[in-house]
Chains A and B, each alone.
Chain A
Amino acid sequence: MKLSNRITLLVSIVLTVVILAVSLSLLLFAKNTILSLSVEQVQRKQQTLRTSFSEMANYYAANSDSDAVHASLVCYCFTRFADQTSVLMQDGEAVVSSVTIDPSAYVQQSDDYGEAEPVAVTVQGRRLLIAGSSTSVGGKSYDVYVVEDVSDVYNRISRMTWIFAGVSIAAIALGAVVVMLLVRRSTKPITALSETAREIADGAYEKRVMIRTKDEIGTLGEDFNRMADAVETKISELSERNERQRLFIGGVTHEFKTPMTGLILHAGLLRRANLSEDERDASLAHIESQTQWLERLTQNLLKLTTSDEEIELQSVNIPELLDAVKEGVEPKLNERGAVLSVQCETDTLVLNPDLMHSLLNNLIVNAANAYDADTPEKPILLTVTGKTFSVSDRGRGIPKEAIDRIFEPFFRVDKSRSKKQGGSGLGLALVKTIADAHNASITVDSELGKGTTVSVTLP
C-alpha cells in the first residue's frame, strides 16, 4: 500500500472516531437536557393543577350536603384549572378527561400526596408523559393526572440526530480530502526522488532532483543531489581512467608489434632461406637488438605499473643518492660523449630512493640524447636546490606544441631517432608516474636550439 494512502486512511479513521465520539456525546447531552426539561414541566404542571384544584374544591365542595352537589362542584373546580391534558379520576373512573386513554393504567396508584414522578409511555405511536397523584376533597380521594403528548419533542430530537449525523459525515469527508491532499503534496517529492534514483541507477548519472521545500524532504533532496554529484564524478573519473588504460594498452600492443615483426621475419629467413654468412649474421644481429629492445620495454612497463602504487618514503642523504645516480649513468654518458656535472645544496629529503634514482637516470639519459651526435661538447647539469631536482642540457630543445605530450606513453618527438637511441617511449611517462607517486610537480622549460631544463619539485 502506498505511504500516502496509508497515512490518509489512518488519519481518516482517527478523524471519524473523534468526530463520532464528540457528536454522539453532544447529542446525548442535548437529548437528556431536553427530556428532563419536559419532565420537569409536566411535573410542575401536575403539581400546580393538583394544588389549585385541591384548594378550590376543598373550599367549595368540602361541606356540600349531597353527593351530587359535591360531584358537580368538584367537576366545576377541576374544569376551572384543566386544559386538554388534564384528567381527574375517582376510584379508577374518569370524572373529567380530555384524553382518550386511561392514565391510571400506566401510573401506579399511590397514597402519596406529594410530588408525582412523571412516567414516559408510548401509546398508539404517541409518546406521552403521564404524572399523577392523589388528593382528598372533603374526605373523598381523587386522582389528578396530567397526560402530556411529547411526540413533538421526540421528533425534534430525532431531527437533531439526523442533522448531527449529516454534519459529522460532511466533516469526516472534508477532513479526509484535506488530509489526502496534504499527504499527497508532501509525498510527491519522495516519488520524484525515487524516480530520479531509478534513472541514475539506469545510467543517467547527470540527473538531479528539483525539491525546493525547506523541510526534511528538502534536505534529503539536497543530500541526494550531493550524493549523485559524487557518483557522477567518480564514474567519470573511472571511465577516464579506463580510457587512459585502454589507450595505454593499445600503445603497448603497437610497441610490441614492430619488434615482433622483425623477429618473425628474421627467424623465418634463418629457418627457410639459404642465407650467406653475412646475411645470417645480420639477421641474428637484428634478432638480438629487437629482443633487447623488447626486454627494455618490458622492464620499463614493469616499473611503470609498479611505481603507480603506494610507495615507501624514507629520509635519504641526497649527495649519496646523486653519487649513485652518476655512477650508474656514466657508461651511457661515455657512449654518447656527454659530461654530467652535479651541484647539490640539499642534505636530506624524504623520498623513495630507488624510484628517484630511476627518475633522475631517465632525465639524464634524455638530456644526453638531446644532443646531435656531432655536437663537440655535451654538458649536462644536475642541480638540487631545496626540494627541487633539475636536469638541464643545451641540446636541440622540444617544439612548443610537443611539450604537453612528452609525458604520454609512447610519444616521441622524433620517432626514428628515439628508436635508434634505444628509447622505449616510456622514459618520461615513467618520470611522470614516479613524480606523481611522490606528489611532486614537474616543469619543463625548453627552447628549440637552446636546450631543455626539466625540474621536479617535491611537496
Chain B
Amino acid sequence: MKNRILVVEDDAAIRDAVLLNLQFADYDAVAFDDGKKAADALEDDHAYDLALLDIMLPGMDGFELFGLMEQYSIPVIYMTAKTDSASEIKGLRDGAEDYIVKPFDPLTLMVRIEKVLKRVGKWNAVYRVRDIVVNTETHSVTKGGAPIELQPLEFDVLVALLRHKNMTVSRERLLNEVWGFDYLGETRMVDVKISALRRKLGLEDAIRSIHKLGYRLEDR
C-alpha cells in the first residue's frame, strides 16, 4: 500500500512541483491551497500518513492546522519561508516532526519524508518497479516472484534510485545516501553497482545514464 500524504501550500508553483515529486516516488498525494479547506476536508478523510504544511496560509495557518493533525495523529513536516528561528522552534516544540526551509531541494524533501515515516512506524517498506518488488524490511528483492541475490551495497543503490524514482540522482548524491558521506573520487564505485543492478534485474533500459547529471530510474 502506498503512503498517503497531505500537502497544504497556497503557492501553485510549489504545490504542483511537490505533488509531481511525490507522485514520482510512488506516494499518494492530496493537495489543498487553503488551510480552511484542508481542515474541512479532514473531517471526512483523515487517513494520511504525513502532512506537509506551509505556515503562512490563507484561511487557517500551519500552526492552527497542527492541532487537527495531532487529533488525527498525522505527523507534520512544515515547509516554511520563515527563516526566523522563533517560528522554527515553535513548530518543533509543538511537536512537528521536522521542518524544511524554502527554497528547498526536492530530493532532500523526499529523504526527510522517508525518515519521518520510518520514525513514526508508517513507512511502507515495499517499493515496486515493473515486475520487481523490493522489501526494505526483509532486504529481499524478487523479479516476477523469483528471488534475486543482491550485494548489500547494490541493494542500497537500488533503494536510493527507487526513493527518487523518475528523478535524476547524481553519483555524489547516491554516494552520500548509500555510503553516508562524500566518497570523494570514488564515483566509479557507483557505476560498478549500477551496471550490476542493470544486469541482475534486467533494467538496462529503465536505469538511464543522464549525461553530466547521473542516473535515473524511469517508471512511467
Contact = CB atoms under 8 A, between A and B. Distances in A.
Interface of A: 250, 253-254, 257-266, 268-269, 271-276, 279, 282-283, 286-287, 289-290, 414-417, 419
A271 B11 contact: no
Nearest to B20: A269
B20 A262 contact: no
B202 interface: no
Interface residues of B, number: 33
B13 A274 contact: no
Contact of A273 (B83, B105, B166): B166
Nearest to A268: B106
A259 B20 CA distance: 17
Most buried by A among B33, B103, B169, B218: B103
B58 interface: yes
A265 B14 contact: yes
Given A254-B82, A268-B105, A414 B58 contact: yes
B124 interface: no
Contacts of B213: 271-272
B13 A265 contact: yes
Contacts of B166: 273-274
B117 interface: no
A52 to B, nearest CB: 125
Given A257-B81, A260-B103, A261-B103, A415 B10 contact: yes
Nearest to B79: A261
Main SS of the interface on chain A? helix
A416 B103 contact: no
Nearest to B210: A272
Nearest to A289: B13
B16 A273 contact: no
Given A272-B167, A272-B168, A274-B218, A419 B17 contact: no
A266 B13 contact: yes
A401 to B, nearest CB: 17
B12 interface: yes
A414 B34 CA distance: 11
Contact of A286 (B16, B33, B83, B104): B16
Interface of B: 10-14, 16-18, 20-21, 24, 33-34, 56, 58, 81-84, 102-106, 166-169, 210, 213, 216, 218, 220
Contact of B10 (A253, A271, A276, A416): A416
A262 B83 CA distance: 17
Most buried by B among A275, A276, A287: A275
B10 A273 contact: no
23 contacts: A257-B81, A257-B102, A258-B102, A259-B13, A260-B103, A261-B14, A261-B103, A262-B11, A262-B13, A262-B17, A264-B103, A265-B18, A265-B106, A269-B20, A272-B167, A272-B210, A272-B216, A274-B166, A286-B12, A286-B13, A414-B58, A415-B10, A419-B10
A253 B83 contact: yes
Listed from nearest, the 4 A-B pairs whose CB atoms lie closest are A262-B13, A265-B17, A257-B81, A272-B168
A286 B14 CA distance: 9
A254 B83 CA distance: 8
Contacts of A253: 83
Given A257-B102, A272-B168, A416 B16 contact: no
A74 to B, nearest CB: 133
Contacts of B81: 254, 257-258, 261
Given A258-B11, A261-B13, A274-B218, 14 more contacts: A257-B102, A259-B13, A266-B13, A269-B20, A272-B167, A272-B169, A272-B216, A273-B216, A274-B220, A276-B220, A286-B13, A416-B10, A417-B58, A419-B11
Given A262-B11, A272-B213, A415-B56, A286 B17 contact: yes
Contacts of A286: 12-13, 16-17
Contacts of A266: 13, 17
A416 B220 contact: no
A394 B11 CA distance: 29
Contacts of A282: 16
B167 A273 contact: yes
Nearest to A250: B84
A264 B103 CA distance: 7
A258 B14 contact: yes
A275 to B, nearest CB: 8
